[in-house]
């Protein structure tokens, strides 16, 4: 019997320091090996936001190997072929993305940028926790889909719906 396909998922953001990094870690943990997640940025800042890293560690997610990187890394010929590509911030949704080999299913799953929040530590922590919660719920919804049984059109519609749901309706 054939082993089930492991789907590659790329989460994109502008800086690849918080939201896309958290999504990568969440997907890799929640998918139980059914999906392999990556993250990248259009203008990667080169380091993971310490609040994102601390939140992942507090929630017992693996953080080894997480790094801020350019999306050019995943447009290169030797890069893994993506099955899904999700933008998780408004800036990346408006940017011209590279052409991804294999024509992955894409959707915008915008999440407010917790790294842009200013104020006391409690406010910043809350912003990161909110982003983490939204990403975690959306990833859970994706993982509940019968991916291998849906047509490409139906799957595209479902992942788009997940991204359109407001955080309080997830």
Domain positions in the chain: 7-169
Mean pLDDT confidence for 160-169: 78
CA nearest neighbour of 4 among 133, 147, 167: 147
Better-predicted residue by pLDDT, 166 or 14: 14
**CATH of the domain spanning 7-169, picked from 3.40.30.10, 3.40.50.2300, 3.20.20.300, 3.90.1200.10:** 3.40.50.2300
144 catalytic residue (yes or no): no
Least confident range of 35-49, 50-64, 86-100: 86-100
pLDDT-derived band at 3 (thresholds 50, 70, 90) equals confident
Mean pLDDT confidence for 91-97: 55
- C-alpha distances out from residue 62 to 51, 129, 156, Å: 15, 17, 29
pLDDT of residue 97: 66
Catalytic residue among 29, 45, 79, 97: 97
Mean pLDDT confidence for 45-68: 96
89 catalytic residue (yes or no): yes
Mean pLDDT confidence for 3-8: 89
106 has which bridge partners? Answer: 85
Catalytic residue among 10, 13, 35, 134: 13
pLDDT-derived band at 38 (thresholds 50, 70, 90) equals very high
The Cα 64–Cα 140 span in angstroms is: 22
The Cα 2–Cα 55 span in angstroms is: 37
pLDDT-derived band at 76 (thresholds 50, 70, 90) equals confident
13 catalytic residue (yes or no): yes
In tens, the pLDDT along 146-162 reads: 999 999 999 999 999 99
CA nearest neighbour of 39 among 63, 57, 19, 59: 19
Percent of the chain topping pLDDT 70: 91
pLDDT of residue 102: 78
Catalytic residue among 26, 35, 89, 159: 89
């Amino acid at each position: 019997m054939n082993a089930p396909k492991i789907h590659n998922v790329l989460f994109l953001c502008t800086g690849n320091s918080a939201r896309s990094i958290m999504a990568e870690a969440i997907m890799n943990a929640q998918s139980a090996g059914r999906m392999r997640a990556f993250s990248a940025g259009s203008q990667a800042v080169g380091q993971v936001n310490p609040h994102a890293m601390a939140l992942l560690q507090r929630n017992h997610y693996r953080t080894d190997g997480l790094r801020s990187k350019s999306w050019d890394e995943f447009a290169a010929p030797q890069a893994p072929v993506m099955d899904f590509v999700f933008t998780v911030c408004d800036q990346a949704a408006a940017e011209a993305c590279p052409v991804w080999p294999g024509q992955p299913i894409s959707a915008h799953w915008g999440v407010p940028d917790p790294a842009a929040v200013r104020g006391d530590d409690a406010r910043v922590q809350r912003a990161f926790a909110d982003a983490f919660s939204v990403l975690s719920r959306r990833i859970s919804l994706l993982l509940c889909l019968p991916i291998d049984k849906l047509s490409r059109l139906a799957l595209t519609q479902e992942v788009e719906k997940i991204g359109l749901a407001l955080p309080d309706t997830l």
